[in-house]
Amino acid sequence: MEVGVRYKAFWCERDWDNQTFWQFHEVYMLLLVLVVPAFVMTLAYTLICWEVWSVMEKRSVMTSRHA
């Protein structure tokens, strides 16, 4: 939307006439900004915890006198 009398500028606002496009954009941004990073972070921390647990288990077997 064009604003300003002396200096022309533009103000971004939602295009209510093109409802399909802005709904697609909202879903795209939700996935890009929230869902995908949350999935990657969950996967990374799960793998880190799994590795720490595995190393601790191996360490306890190595230091045990009963092995």
- For the stretch 8-62, pLDDT in tens is 888 887 777 888 988 998 999 999 999 999 999 999 999 999 999 999 998 888 8
Q: Return d(Cα 56, Cα 37) in angstroms, integer.
A: 28
User: What was the pLDDT predicted at 10?
Assistant: 86
pTM, two decimals, is: 0.64
CB 55, CB 47: distance < 8 Å = no
Q: What pLDDT is attached to residue 66? A: 61
Sign of CA dihedral 21, 23, 26, 31: negative
Distance CA 37, CA 43 (A): 10
Tell which wins on pLDDT, 36 or 67.
36
pLDDT the model gives residue 55: 94
